[in-house]
Amino acid sequence: MAHDHEEMNVDERGPTPVQVAEYGATTNAEENLKTRTTRNPQNWPSQRKWINVILVSAQAMLSATTSTILAAGNLQIARQFHLTSTYTPNLPVGMYVLGLAIGPLCLGPFSELYGRRMVYVISFLLFTILNVGCATSPNITALSILRLASGACGSAGPTLGGASIGDMFTKADRGKTQALYALGPTLGPVIGPLIGSFIVDRTHTWRWAMWVMVIASGLVTTCTILFLRETYAPFLLRKQARQEGADGGVNVKSLFGEAIRRPFNLLLFSPICSIMSAYMALIFGTIYLHLITLPLLYGPESFYGLFSYRWQNGVTGLAYMGAGLGNIVGTFVCAKYMNRSYAYLNERQKRNSGNEDGKAENRMFFLQIGMAVVPCGLVIFAWTAQTHQHWVLPLLGGAMCAVGVLMAFVCIQTYLVDVYGQYSASALAAMVASRTLPVPLFIYKFGPGLRAKDAKRFFDTEDAITNGSTGTADPILQEGLQTPEEKSS
């Protein structure tokens, strides 16, 4: 056992964060855990795995839903707190999303030091308590600060979910599960305003929207405490070593600084993580801006010089159904075909090169499709709204955009889990932070002051950027993480 513990010590310190290829290799911790079949999460019964997946997905869904649920209560917030600026009522939404960007940079590394379960339980318990504070906030300052803190605590589900799935499922099986999990972080921002508008319309106060989130998050927190199991291999090995009377060979304090720096190092010095995170930031900023323009386009009256379809009687929230339907369609496509395409490309690679180890880049087939669908959806949304076409056409464009976003999200998340292996939580933390950090800028820069000509110019620019990113991604997907020797052969 002493030898095993010594090996685990070396593995826990890990390679430097910029040695990307080494992250995806099978680690000593994973090999040691495989010999303990009853403890290996990949050998768990399917029922136990899916209990974990459902709980993690529920956290991710509630966190994302909470981000936009107050969007429908902006007018009530402005009236109650006597706000005159058009920007200030959006502050609770922007501050929450900023918290979603800050939280992963701590929670991802913490999960690699102290295990996934502890982070899920503590962070979501704090998330529930902070939502109580939001519901009882006496002024806009308190509400904004509490929303920032609740966003940071609620980021565990969106940050660690992909890594937890990687802990429990093999590479051949995790594509479908990642697709189903991804429905939460992508559908949540869409259904948030829909639920919020329904609650606000019937209670005439934004506070009840937060109380509903308190009730829902309280139930999920209780289930998490009772049923969530630990999945992180190195933590399970350290726990096993302590039970057998050894110290595990790991000095957590000495690893703390390295773990905290790892997401920043990956984001700054690992090109794969940097480029994928930048693209996710672009499309997530776009989808959030799309969501805040829907009330302007379909609302009962015209604002800021924009054309409106003037939906009456509180049905404006139904405008979010287009993006919601797109998320569901994207989930179905990825869940049904992603594992199949990965297996097919691996088999073709084996026939052509004799290499039986599947490349992580074989995950990216649907990313290329998604990168093409997103700008198409943006074009349809922008130009049909600009030319005042039938109301269903902008919704169709939004649905297409949502399909592309979900495909890109699933592929990139699964790819990072495959590549970075044991340190996937840090890689996903870097990606989540970078994709959510620009969202407040999108909201405040383009949201309240949006004019008709600005909307057209913005979506034209987004279309050009997303089309350009599609082309620049092709060499990355072809070259991937090949070594210099492989590239020269």
- Which domains, from first to last, does the chain contain? 15-479 (1.20.1250.20)
Range 314-346 burial, b when 16+ CB lie within 10 A, else e = eebbebbebbbbbbbbbbebbbebbbebbeebb
393: Cα separation from own chain's centroid: 28
Instruction: Kindly write down the DSSP assignment for every residue of 372-404, as one continuous string.
Output: HHHHHHHHHHHHHHHTT--THHHHHHHHHHHHH
Taking only the tens of pLDDT, the chain with its 489 residues reads 434 433 333 333 333 333 443 444 445 555 555 555 567 899 999 999 999 999 999 999 999 999 989 987 887 888 889 887 767 777 888 899 899 989 999 999 899 888 999 999 999 999 999 999 999 999 999 999 999 999 999 999 999 999 999 999 988 888 889 999 998 888 888 888 889 888 888 888 999 999 999 999 999 999 999 999 999 988 888 887 777 666 555 566 677 778 888 898 998 888 888 888 888 888 887 787 777 778 778 877 776 566 788 887 667 778 888 889 999 999 999 988 988 888 888 888 888 776 666 678 888 888 889 888 988 898 898 888 888 899 999 999 999 999 999 999 899 999 999 888 888 888 999 898 888 887 777 666 665 555 444 555 555 555 555 555 555 455 455 544 443 333 333
CA atoms lying within 13 Å on the CB side of residue 103:
30
Residue 412 burial (C-beta neighbours within 10 Å; 0-12, 13-18, 19+):
buried
Residue in the block written with tokens 């099986």: 173
**Which tokens hold the place of 305?**
């010089």
**Which tokens hold the place of 317?**
């929230």
| Strand, helix or coil for residue 217 | helix
Q: How many CB atoms lie within 10 A of CB 238?
A: 24
Q: Where are the beta strands (DSSP E) in 324-444?
A: none
pTM: 0.80
Q: CA-CA distance, 433 to 381, in Å (whole number)? A: 27
Query: What residues have CB less than 8 Å from 479, skipping those under 6 apart?
Result: 487
Cα dist from 305 to 190, 383, 448, whole Å? 25, 16, 11
**Which tokens hold the place of 470?**
């599609």
Sign of the Cα pseudo-torsion (147, 263, 404, 460, in order): positive
Q: 483: part of which helix (H) or strand (E)?
A: none
